[in-house]
Every structure is written in C-alpha cells, then in structure tokens.
C-alpha cells in the first residue's frame, strides 16, 4: 500500500505532480491503488499525466481592521450643521476632511450648488442659466423683418405706460446718458441709461440683447433702437445711485450721430 499524503478538495490549490491522484477521493499516493477506496489509479490521473493546476491569485482586501478616529469637527453631522448656518466653513471642513470615496465628491458637489443657490437665489440662478441658451428677444426674424414689425413710440409714451408695451415690438429714438454698472434683475448683463432725444428726462433703460453682435454705446450717442418691452427695472450708475424706469430689451440698434 502506498503512503497516504492527504485528501484535498477540487477547490484547493495544493497538487503533487509527482504523485498519483484518486479521482473519487482526491487522495494523493505513490502506489497503483488508492489507499482509501482501493481503486486502481486511472492512467490520466497518474503522476506526470495530469494537467498542471494553475494557482489562484488571491486579492488582498482593500479594507482594514484598523479603526481610524477622526476629529469631532470632521463628523458628518457637524459638517451638515455648518453647511446650514455657515456654508463657507462647512465647505472648507468637507474638503479638508479625511473622508474618502464617491460620497465625499457627491457631497462637495451638492454643497457647492447649495452655496451658489443660497448666495444668488434660486430664481436669479434660473434666470441667469436660461439666458445662456436663450436670448430674451425674438431671434426667429431677420433684421429687416424685425424692424418692420416694430411700432414706433415716443419715450414719453413708453415711460407713462410700460406695462402696456411689455413684450411688444417697439422702436424709439433715444440719447445715451451712461452705461449702468449693476442691475438688480439680471446681474452681468449690460444696461444703458437713456433719455428722450430732446433731453427731456423720460428715463428709458436699455438691456443689451443685440442679435447681430455687441455694440459699445457712449454717452451722447443718439440712437434708434428696436426691441421688446420688458416692464420696469432698476439699475445703478457709476456712483451706485439707482435709476428706475421702463426697460427695453434691445435687439437691434442704429447710431444716428
């Protein structure tokens, strides 16, 4: 009888290529017969005839049993609390925290979005985003078609009843007073403070929505503008003094002087 070396299942990596192996008992032995069941060893299971068993590669677990302690101010509950009351501090704590993985990245993205919305307001954010892909004037018409549908009104008419002309296609002649520096309604847009051509102080505010390219207007320019009524708004001049009046979204302009 051969020397018994042990029994090993198929899922184990141990293989003795120098010994015979019983196909039923998974036992390795040097004799012709299996020491457990007594069956003779088939030819294909004899030493040298069996295929080489490839060793499996064991993957190391990325986890660690080591417990990591973090400072209390890096705890999720404290970071969320700071985001609600002092968003800047909360965002700094989140970025510098030892937290890892996609959750931290997702939370940073949400925190930045919350910070933007809480700063500029949700309505203003939507308005600014919509202006990126859509002009507030009709772009489906050619310049000639647009000018043809505009109704000529005086600054006095427009000043008295701005709501009546909201969304209407209008044409009027104005004198540029100065370029505004800030607007309550559409931050970042260019506005011009204008008045009637004869100098009468019927204030009209122009929002630059030019379709055919930008045009820098300077004080004293006498212009004919074609655009759409946009109700009343408030802008501020270089001294941050407020100017309130009816607004015209300017689609096309012609400088007369």
Q: Summarize pLDDT for 39-61 with one digit per residue, the tens.
A: 888 888 888 887 776 655 555 54
Question: What pLDDT score was predicted for residue 3?
Answer: 43
Look at residue 152 in the predicted model and tell me its pLDDT.
Answer: 96
pTM of the model: 0.50
- Confidence at residue 74, expressed as pLDDT on a 0 to 100 scale: 80
Q: What does the pLDDT read at residue 246?
A: 95
Lowest mean pLDDT among 110-114, 138-142, 216-220: 110-114
> Quick one: pLDDT at residue 234?
93
Confidence of residue 206 (pLDDT cuts 50, 70, 90): very high
Tokens describing residue 209: 């929505």
Percent of residues, the chain, with pLDDT higher than 90: 37
Model confidence band, residue 35 (pLDDT cutoffs 50, 70, 90): confident
Backbone dihedral angles phi then psi of residue 47, each to the nearest 5 degrees: -55, 135
Which stretches of the chain are DSSP H helices? 76-85, 87-96, 102-120, 122-133, 143-149, 155-160
pLDDT class of 21 with cuts at 50, 70, 90: confident
Under 8 Å between Cβ of 209 and 135: yes
For residues 35-73, one letter each, b for 16 or more C-beta atoms within 10 angstroms of the residue's C-beta and e for the rest, the string is: beeeeebeeeeeeeebeeeeeeeeeeeeeeeeeeeeeee
Domain ranges of the chain: 1-59, 72-120, 143-255
Helix axes 102-120, 122-133, angle to 10 degrees: 100
> Do 216 and 250 meet the contact criterion of CB atoms below 8 Å apart?
no
Q: Which fold has domain 143-255?
A: OB fold (Dihydrolipoamide Acetyltransferase, E2P) (2.40.50)
Is the distance from CB of 158 to CB of 229 less than 8 angstroms?
yes
pLDDT(221) > 70 = yes
- Residue 11 in this model has a pLDDT that exceeds 50: no
């Amino acid at each position: 009888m051969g020397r018994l070396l042990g029994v090993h299942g198929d899922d184990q990596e141990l293989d003795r290529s120098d010994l015979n192996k019983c196909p039923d008992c998974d036992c390795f032995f040097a004799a012709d017969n299996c020491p457990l069941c007594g069956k003779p060893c088939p030819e294909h299971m004899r030493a040298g005839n069996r295929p080489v068993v490839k060793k499996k590669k064991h993957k190391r677990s990325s986890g660690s049993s080591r417990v990591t302690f973090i400072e209390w101010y890096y705890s999720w509950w404290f970071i969320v609390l700071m985001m609600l009351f002092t968003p800047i501090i909360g965002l700094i704590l989140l970025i510098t925290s030892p937290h890892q993985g996609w959750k931290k990245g997702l939370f940073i993205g949400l925190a930045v979005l919350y910070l933007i919305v809480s700063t500029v307001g949700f309505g203003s954010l939507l308005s600014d985003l919509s202006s990126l892909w859509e002009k507030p004037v009709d772009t489906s018409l050619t310049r000639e078609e647009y000018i043809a549908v505009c109704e000529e009104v005086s600054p006095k008419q427009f000043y008295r009843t701005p709501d009546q002309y909201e969304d209407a296609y209008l044409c009027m002649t104005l004198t540029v007073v100065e370029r505004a520096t800030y607007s309550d309604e559409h931050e970042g847009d260019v506005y011009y403070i204008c008045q009637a051509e004869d100098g009468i102080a019927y204030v009209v505010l122009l929002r630059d929505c030019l379709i055919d390219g930008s045009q820098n207007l300077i004080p004293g320019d006498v212009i004919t503008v074609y655009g759409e009524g946009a109700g009343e708004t408030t802008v501020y001049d270089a001294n941050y003094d407020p100017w309130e009046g009816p607004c015209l979204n300017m689609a096309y302009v012609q400088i007369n002087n």
